[in-house]
Amino acid sequence: MKISLAILVCIVVSACAPQKKNVASGVHRNLSDSALLDSIERRTFDFFWTGAEPASGMAPERIHMDDDYPDHDQRIIATGGSGFGLMAILAGIHRGYITRAQGLQRFEKIISFLEKADRFHGAYPHWINGENGHVKPFGRKDNGGDLVETSY
């Protein structure tokens, strides 16, 4: 089973459905606006913090919960998704999920990785191998910089 950012959003949205409590998962329904926001921020933060690709500290393109990666792509990171991850780290610091020092340490890890990663006239590729910083081609005719992903 793989989880992408789109699936994460669907999970969070489904948590808003009017029910009492899902005993199996421990998720409370009918949350106040503040509790719902905290739940969404915490789950989003956890996705990017604990699910980060280990060498780069950036957001993985996909996570297979069963750890079965048929395309051997468990170390591929998403440039744009990582931008959302940076914002999640800032929210995590603000909400007290991590310390400012922990957030800074992760930012420094990511910046050090990006300084050495492949770039094309300053633009990063859509996908990057988190172990070595090399581009993973998006397609046979598209293996260069991605301005949209870089902007995220």
Kindly report, residue by residue over 36-95, the tens digit of the pLDDT: 988 888 999 999 999 999 999 999 987 766 777 677 677 899 999 999 999 999 999 999
Task: Specify whether the CB–CB gap between 42 and 36 falls below 8 A.
Answer: no
**Domain boundaries along the sequence of the chain:** 41-151
Q: How many CB atoms lie within 10 A of CB 123?
A: 16
First to last CA, the chain: 26
Which two structure tokens, joined as six digits, stand for 47?
A: 């996705």
Rounded Cα gap, residues 8 and 5, in angstroms: 5
Q: Against a cut of 0.95, is the pTM above it?
A: no
Residue whose token pair is 């922990």: 102
